[in-house]
Amino acid sequence: MKARPGALTAVMVTLTVTTGVIEAVSFLALGPAFTAMQSGNLLFLAFAITGAAELSAKASLASLIGFLVGAGLGARLESSVDVRGRRWFLVALFTEGALLAVAGLVGWRLERAHQPLSGWHHLTTALVAAAMGMRNVTALRAKVPDLPTTLATRSMAALVGGSPLALDHRIAPGLTNELRRAAGVGALFGGGVLGSWLLHEISSPPAVLLGTAAAVVLVAAGFSLAPGHERPAHD
């Protein structure tokens, strides 16, 4: 049985919201560094090693290494579970939630945002990036169009390119596609707003990470109860 496209799309949109929250924590409290959007992080690393004083090469490098490790482990885990005919998508989400929870617990001594960077910041960053490395592998395997969950650049381009303003014949048109693209862009922006607001109100990056971990686990649990949840639609 295959997952219903609507249920899987809703999961991916919700995960995109959590990306915004996570990147708010990563950039505003742990870095500045991104953990899900490694294109930006690579540039931060390049700027930092050439002397940009407001950036941290250590934070960017911790994120990059954590991401690569998480992507590698995620690919091995998800493929091995998939080969056995089991629910790789659910395993991936529960594992990601566990990694985010560990990051929150490891960083618990970071009582508030805007502390001077320490080894605990870098370790927490690496763990969050590992979860996001796994997330990126999960999104690649799920293959939901225009919803990679960790960036919005292509969704924004497709939103415009597939609209009546452009009508590029190589970009799928239609209301459903446009709504999905708009949802992805809006979810990332909304997640960023939510994460920034939570940091301002709670001033505890680990608490925000633990809350996000709980949200990912709840999403996985909800998806497991949806009819036809065993595998994303492409399997």
pLDDT tens digits, 35-50: 999 999 999 999 999 9
Mean pLDDT of the region 9-14: 94
Which comes out higher in pLDDT, residue 205 or 171? 205
The pTM assigned to this predicted structure is 0.89
In this structure, CATH architecture of domain 12-225: Up-down Bundle (1.20)
Longest dimension (CA), the chain: 54
Please name the residue that has the structure tokens 């992805």.
184
* Across 213-235, average pLDDT: 77
Mean pLDDT of 216-229: 84
| Contacts with 76 (C-beta within 8 Å, 6 or more apart), sequence order | none
Q: In the 3-class helix/strand/coil scheme, how is 7-69 assigned residue by residue?
A: HHHHHHHHHHHHHHHHHHHHHHHHCCCCCCCHHHHHHHHHHHHCCCCCCCHHHHHHHHHHHHH
- Give per-residue pLDDT as tens, 79-133: 999 988 778 999 999 999 999 999 999 988 876 666 678 888 999 999 999 999 9
How far is Cα 208 from Cα 68, in angstroms, rounded to an integer? 23
Q: Tell me, what's the pLDDT at 106? A: 93
Cα–Cα dist 149/5, whole Å: 16
pLDDT in tens, 24-35: 999 999 989 999
Rounded distance between C-alpha atoms, residue 189 and residue 126, angstroms: 23
What is the percent of the chain where pLDDT is above 70?
92
Tokens, residue 19 = 């990306």
Residue range 198-224: average pLDDT? 93
Domain layout of the chain by residue ranges: 12-225
pLDDT at 50: 92
Collapsing DSSP to helix, strand or coil, 2 comes out as strand
